[in-house]
Amino acid sequence: MSISRRISRIVRANKAAAQPAVDPMKLAADAQRAQYAALDSARRGAADVAAHRRRLEILAHEASVRVNQLEAQAVAAVDRGDDDGARAALRGQLGARKHLQTLTAQLQQTDAQARQLASDVARLEERMSENWLRHQALLARHAAAEASVSAQEALRSSAGPVQGGEWAVREAERELRRLQATAEAREELAWSDPSSPRVERAFEELEAESAARAELERLKERRARDYRSGPH
């Protein structure tokens, strides 16, 4: 390798070393905040479109009422022999009808846009929920890794590098097994405790399903009686 290439490599290495290290956890947190900001913006956009749609709906209703009013005026003018008045009312009706068609087209476009925005917001909310769970898992794993590293460093400083590191790994594995057993035990207790929210929700769902089935049977019986007692 030439001397110039070696010097170039040294310069690039020194520049890379001089640059501040990038914290991956900070980047993940920043990305999470950016996603929440995007979700808020999408929700505000959907709300604005919904408000605009409501305004169009009101204007379209007013235009429809105006069309009917002008038609009634034209009919009344014809009945009293006022052809000029009838023509004036019909010309106004044509303009009002054209305005109504324009508003109707805008309302249809806004409906399509509102549906698309609602779908986008729903997908973004679902993705945000998944990303939040992944971020929380990442934080937990990162904290566990930092704790493990700190424990290993403390053990190496007090009991030697080999013995301390092995002990820290065994302790970390033992703690992981303890946490998993605790989580499993709590999961079992949640189902065995009749007053737990999970069990209460399950009972509520069963009661609602039972009530719905009973109501369906009563409705079928009433319809059958109505059919038998009706005219043949």
Mean pLDDT by runs of 10 across the 232 residues of the chain is: 62 58 69 79 85 91 92 89 88 91 92 86 82 73 74 64 61 80 65 59 73 78 75 56
pTM for this one?
0.45
Residues 153, 159, 160, 161: is their CA dihedral positive or negative? negative
As a whole number of angstroms, the distance between CA 223 and CA 232 comes to 15
* Other CB atoms within 10 A of residue 152 CB: 19
Could you give the CA distance from residue 38 to residue 32 in angstroms, rounded to a whole number? 10
Which segments of 83-160 does DSSP mark as H helices, in order?
83-159
Do 121 and 42 meet the contact criterion of CB atoms below 8 Å apart? Answer: yes
pLDDT score of 68: 92
Residues with Cβ within 8 Å of 154's Cβ and at least 6 positions away in sequence, in order, are 164
Distance CA 139, CA 221 (A): 58
Q: Tell me, what's the pLDDT at 161?
A: 47
What is the structure's pLDDT at 62? 93
Six-digit token pair at 200?
């209460």
What pLDDT was estimated at residue 101? Answer: 93
Q: Domain residues of the chain, as ranges?
A: 24-142
Q: E strands along 11-159, which residues?
A: none
Contact between 155 and 163 (Cβ < 8 Å):
yes
The C-alpha atoms of residue 178 and residue 185 are separated, in whole angstroms, by: 10
